[in-house]
Amino acid sequence: MKEFFAFVRKEFLHIFRDRKTLLVLVGLPTVLIVLFGFAISTEIRNVNIGLLSMDDDISITRLMQKIDRSEYFTYVGKYASEAEVDEAMRRGEIDAALIFPAGFIPAMFGAEGAEMALVVDATNPNNASMEVMYLSRIVYGYFGDEMAGSGIGMPSDMPAGGASLTPNLRMLYNPQLKSSYNFVPGIMGLILMLICALMTSVSIVREKETGSMEVLLVSPVRPIYIVLAKMIPYFVISCAILLNILLLTIFVLKVPVEGSFFWMILVSLIYIILSLGIGMFVSSIVKTQIIATLICGMIFLIPVMMFSGMLYPIESMPVALQWFAQVIPAKWFIEAMRKIMIEGVPVRYVTTEILIMSGLAVLFFTAAVVKFKDRIE
């Protein structure tokens, strides 16, 4: 046991001597969580609107004023032709344009009704859909009021006399529709995985490359203790990082913790151990730091970003990729955190996630230790 603690001490010294790396380890998660917590968002904002209208009708001008007043849209200006609208869109000046044909207003009051076009830049399809939804709601509402005022037709969002159904829409867990509620658990999963797995694997492989691992292996300490001694400091650092991230999430990003604090921490600890195990495993199968980096980076980081449900919902993926997502450890963590933190559901809803993460952790550790032994014999 004494030798064991001597090893642990040595590992701590290694980490604390390398100030630059330590700074990066603490600074990186802080900056990332703050930047991304605020920045990663899919709400629509600051949508620039253009207008193309053949007539100068006062009600169209008022409509544009109304659009400009809404929180999502900014009215940029009027264009003279479709070609101009097109050019403005190519330059990125406007994201959407309302196009009114000549004689639009009289036609609307006439028998046949009127039609107008809503052109949106659908480079980003989701934003385009939301823009169409919000803009048409404004347009219908506005002209509905106009016509109600003039006594013709009915506003569409009012119960049309007599029998009707009214939808009562409620947004559960996230009434303000903040993107951060969705992305923060993902960012936590990404950062913890990046730091834990990469840090462990690269630093162990580094010892292999410089040959100091050999020295450890010929010492009387059993290999399993060497593995553990390496893990403990990284585990401690990871816990500090976790605490840091949680505090930032709650107090800076103001994401509420709806569920149990205890279970949230426990789930995170299991995930940290799992990530360390992955790092350990990678270090036991590769020989150079570059390859360890590439494996952790390209094989773990990209999948975590793309396939874990961090940014993109898993259920929108093709079935084969949905299966693939199941083997990504971060997926289970992100799901569990979303449920506990944001939805605040009781822990029985996340037993699957917890069991799978624990299982994976045991698996990776066993594999790492077995591989580690192979190497010595």
Residues numbered 346 to 365 that lie near another protein (CB under 8 A) are: 346, 349
How far is residue 208's CA from residue 218's CA, in Å, rounded to a whole number? 13
Q: In the complex, what is the shortest distance from the CB of residue 357 to another protein, in angstroms, rounded to a whole number?
A: 16
DSSP 350: G
* Inter-CA distances, 292 with 175, 235, 282, 286, 288, Å: 43, 19, 7, 6, 6
Which of these ranges, 3-11, 142-150, 215-223, 228-236, lies near another protein under the rule CB under 8 A? 142-150
* Inter-CA distances, 138 with 68, 177, 260, Å: 11, 19, 41
Instruction: Pick the binder of another protein from 113, 151, 211, 220 (CB under 8 A).
Output: 113
How far is residue 39's CA from residue 310's CA, in Å, rounded to a whole number? 14
- Asked if residue 43 binds another protein (CB under 8 A), the reply is yes
How far is residue 213's CA from residue 204's CA, in Å, rounded to a whole number? 8
Q: In the complex, what is the shortest distance from the CB of residue 82 to another protein, in angstroms, rounded to a whole number?
A: 11
- Asked if residue 200 binds another protein (CB under 8 A), the reply is no
- Asked if residue 92 binds another protein (CB under 8 A), the reply is yes
Instruction: Pick the binder of another protein from 216, 236, 265, 317 (CB under 8 A).
Output: 317
- Asked if residue 202 binds another protein (CB under 8 A), the reply is yes
User: In sequence order, which residues have a C-beta less than 8 Å from that of residue 289 and are 6 or more positions away?
Assistant: 202, 205, 206, 209
Which of these ranges, 197-205, 273-281, 356-364, 368-376, lies near another protein under the rule CB under 8 A? 197-205
- Asked if residue 236 binds another protein (CB under 8 A), the reply is no
Per-residue buried b or exposed e for 198-208, using 16+ beta carbons within 10 Å of the residue's own CB:
bbbbbbbbbbb
Which of these ranges, 5-13, 60-68, 167-175, 235-243, lies near another protein under the rule CB under 8 A? 167-175
- Asked if residue 293 binds another protein (CB under 8 A), the reply is yes
Which of these ranges, 18-26, 57-65, 222-230, 266-274, lies near another protein under the rule CB under 8 A? 18-26
Instruction: Pick the binder of another protein from 13, 80, 302, 370 (CB under 8 A).
Output: 302
How far is residue 153's CA from residue 276's CA, in Å, rounded to a whole number? 66
Q: In the complex, what is the shortest distance from the CB of residue 75 to another protein, in angstroms, rounded to a whole number?
A: 15
Please say which residue, 240 or 302, places its beta carbon nearer to another protein. Answer: 302
Which of these ranges, 59-67, 232-240, 303-311, 362-370, lies near another protein under the rule CB under 8 A? 303-311
- Asked if residue 24 binds another protein (CB under 8 A), the reply is yes
From first CA to last CA, the distance across the chain in angstroms is: 23
- Asked if residue 35 binds another protein (CB under 8 A), the reply is yes
The helix (H) or strand (E) run that includes residue 78 is strand 73-78
Give the length of the chain.
Answer: 377
Instruction: Pick the binder of another protein from 272, 338, 356, 364 (CB under 8 A).
Output: 338
Neighbouring-strand partners of residue 147: none
Instruction: Pick the binder of another protein from 7, 36, 73, 372 (CB under 8 A).
Output: 36
- Asked if residue 285 binds another protein (CB under 8 A), the reply is no
**Dihedral angle over CA of 106, 111, 112, 114, nearest 10:** 30
Instruction: Pick the binder of another protein from 1, 81, 90, 149 (CB under 8 A).
Output: 90
Count CB atoms within 10 A of the CB of residue 260. 16
User: Helix, strand or coil for residue 56?
Assistant: coil
Range 70-89, binding another protein (CB under 8 A)? 86-87, 89
- Asked if residue 177 binds another protein (CB under 8 A), the reply is yes
User: Helix, strand or coil for residue 327?
Assistant: coil
